[in-house]
Amino acid sequence: MQIKTVMVIGAGQMGSGIAQVFAQSNFDVKLNDISEASLEKGIASIEKNLNRSVQKGRLTEVEKVEIMERLSTTTSLQDASDCDLVIEAVVENMDVKGKVFKQLDEITPAHAILASNTSSLPITEIAAVTNRPEKVIGMHFMNPVPVMKLVEIIRGLATSDETYEAIETTTKALGKTPVEVNDFPGFVSNRVLMPMINEAIYTVYEGVATPEAVDEVMKLGMNHPMGPLQLADFIGLDTCLYIMEVLHEGFGDSKYRPCPLLRKYVKAGWLGKKSGRGFYIYGE
């Protein structure tokens, strides 16, 4: 099937990044959010990224204008009625996602594929609220979307081969690398990454080393571009805790138990870079 018109739901950091890469790859894109202010912020962020590309000579001014012309904004899900693909990038909450998919199932044309950018929630469960589970799939982009090459493509229990192939082809058209993953808690990326971050937090909690020392060991010893605690601050400690809870609940295995220090920081409102403090302190 031909995917030409795409709606991205959620104009936050992930949603606006996804909208940008689709518009840059010649798709017509509708960016949707319930808040006009979020849409304005999302579009401003896309424009800022494109201006940077123009300054660096990666894009011409004409190309930038053409990309922006392929983008439109809307606060109504009804505008998904002519879309071939809808990608949901709203808050990581099953109830919220379920409501969105239920509505999309009624609004979108029968051929449309419904995708979720969830980083840990089961695609099979999201698909179950629709009458087209074979057309529901996970497209887990990495942050920042315009830079990162990977897209984890998650098959739900009922996802058809045709749907998978359409999404694989579309991902390649974005200049990204698709990797096929089955529907298990945390998929691959977060199932491997989050326990490493959690273990790094335990080493601080148990007094083995300072956050700086832990990050230095992983950067210099394992050649990681960023230490696990700095990365946790960038992801958001609340998000890390949430994903650890999904893993712990999903597998029922004590190895996924969130570190008490992680819970303590989240309760204190120390959520990382976005709140100004996590394992490190961030200035203005």
124 vs 213: CA distance, rounded Å = 41
Q: Which pLDDT belongs to residue 71?
A: 98
Read off the tokens for 182: 């089955």
pTM of the model: 0.92
Residue 160 predicted with pLDDT over 70: yes
Q: Which pLDDT belongs to residue 1?
A: 77
Q: Which pLDDT belongs to residue 209?
A: 98
Q: Which pLDDT belongs to residue 23?
A: 98
Does the annotation place 273 within a ligand binding site? Answer: no
Does the annotation place 12 within a ligand binding site? Answer: yes
Does the annotation place 119 within a ligand binding site? Answer: yes
Does the annotation place 186 within a ligand binding site? Answer: no
Question: Which ranges of 108-210 does DSSP label H, i.e. alpha helix?
Answer: 123-127, 161-173, 189-205
On whether the CB atoms of residues 73 and 43 are closer than 8 A, the answer is yes
Active-site positions? 119, 140, 152, 190
Residue 57 predicted with pLDDT over 70: yes
On whether the CB atoms of residues 123 and 190 are closer than 8 A, the answer is no
Q: Looking at residues 253-277, what average pLDDT do you find?
A: 97
Residue 284 predicted with pLDDT over 80: no
Read off the tokens for 199: 């273990």
181 vs 91: CA distance, rounded Å = 22
- What sign has the CA pseudo-torsion 242, 170, 43, 82? negative
For residue 114, the 8-state DSSP code is E
On whether the CB atoms of residues 132 and 144 are closer than 8 A, the answer is no
**Please, what are the domains in the chain?**
5-182 (3.40.50.720), 190-273 (1.10.1040.10)
Name the band, by pLDDT with cuts 50, 70 and 90, for residue 201: very high
Query: Percentage of residues in the chain with pLDDT exceeding 70?
Result: 100
Does the annotation place 13 within a ligand binding site? Answer: yes
Residue 239 predicted with pLDDT over 80: yes
Q: Looking at residues 121-138, what average pLDDT do you find?
A: 97
What is the overall mean pLDDT for the chain? 97
Strand, helix or coil for residue 92: coil
Residue 133 predicted with pLDDT over 70: yes
Does the annotation place 117 within a ligand binding site? Answer: no
How crowded is the C-beta side of 282, counted as CA atoms within 13 Å?
15
For residue 78, CA distances in Å to 9, 84, 99, 105 come to 12, 14, 14, 11
Q: What are phi and psi of 24, to 5 degrees?
A: -70, -20
Q: Looking at residues 13-35, what average pLDDT do you find?
A: 97
Does the annotation place 33 within a ligand binding site? Answer: yes
Around Cβ 30, how many Cβ atoms within 10 Å?
21
Name the band, by pLDDT with cuts 50, 70 and 90, for residue 283: confident
Please, is 26 exposed, middle or buried when counting C-beta atoms within 10 Å of its C-beta (0-12, 13-18, 19+)?
A: exposed
142 vs 203: CA distance, rounded Å = 26
How crowded is the C-beta side of 233, counted as CA atoms within 13 Å?
18
Q: What is the H or E stretch that residue 106 is in?
A: helix 94-107
